[in-house]
Amino acid sequence: MSMDMIHVYKPGADPKAPVLVLLHGTGGNEHDLLGLGELISPESAVLSVRGNVLENGMPRFFRRLAEGVFDEQDLVFRTGELKAFLDAAAAEYGLDRENMVAVGYSNGANIAASLIFHEQESFRGAVLHHPMVPRRGVQLPELNGMPVFIGAGINDRICTKEETEELRSQLSGAGAEVEVHWEDHGHQLTRTEAEAAAHWFRREFQENG
């Protein structure tokens, strides 16, 4: 039993709708992405988690050695921690563990991507706003058509175009169905990107039942 991550749980109006797992960016918290979740799938249950690491008082999901340089050992440990939390939360709240869709921004998108890279049972799908390649040199599990939305900025200096393309090809190579949405901006999560994610989500998870 591992429920030792601060979180918000909000039951959903539609028990069949995917459970959204909301994962904030550096310096954020479990309240930041509730509005985004509401926009993406208002009828979904929501599990919004706060990262357990602090960097100068700013919550994160794993340590980094410098901007863009991850502490790999901590990343792997924290990925397992989040996985254990999701498994325990599914049992605690009576949620379908196989029907969870990650929605992460920046550091939160990176831990979601790391879970997808490392674990066979990660998510049904993922919305990754400005993710990086979480780790190199690992064999990804078979992703069996997992739908993944990547929101990226052509001027994003933290998650560059090249790195976005590298992540897309890693995920596609493992069998995911990846859609990349480009914004003419930097690292910020814009309204139009959030709306594109909501549109994609409806297409992937609602219209086909």
If the CB atoms of residues 44 and 106 are measured against ligand MLT, the closer one turns out to be 106
96 catalytically annotated: no
Name the active-site residue from 41, 48, 106, 114.
106
Q: Which of 204, 186, 174, 190 is nearest to 113 (CA)?
A: 174
Distance CA 153, CA 188 (A): 8
* Residue 26 makes contact with ligand MLT by CB under 6 A: yes
187 catalytically annotated: yes
* Residue 58 makes contact with ligand MLT by CB under 6 A: no
106 catalytically annotated: yes
Angle at 180 (CA atoms; ends 83, 82), nearest 5 degrees: 10
Range 165-204, binding ligand MLT (CB under 6 A): none
Among 10, 64, 97, 161, binds ligand MLT (CB under 6 A): 64
Taking the complex as a whole, the smallest distance from the CB of residue 11 to ligand MLT amounts, in Å, to: 29
Amino acid, res. 140 = L
Handedness of CA 94, 80, 176, 108 (dihedral sign): positive
- Tell me how many residues contact ligand MLT (CB under 6 A): 10
Among 25, 51, 59, 151, binds ligand MLT (CB under 6 A): 25
Show Cβ contacts of residue 122 under 8 Å, excluding neighbours closer than 6 positions. 83, 102, 115, 116, 141
Distance CA 30, CA 8 (A): 6
Residues forming the site for ligand MLT (CB under 6 A): 25-26, 64, 67-68, 106-107, 110, 132, 158
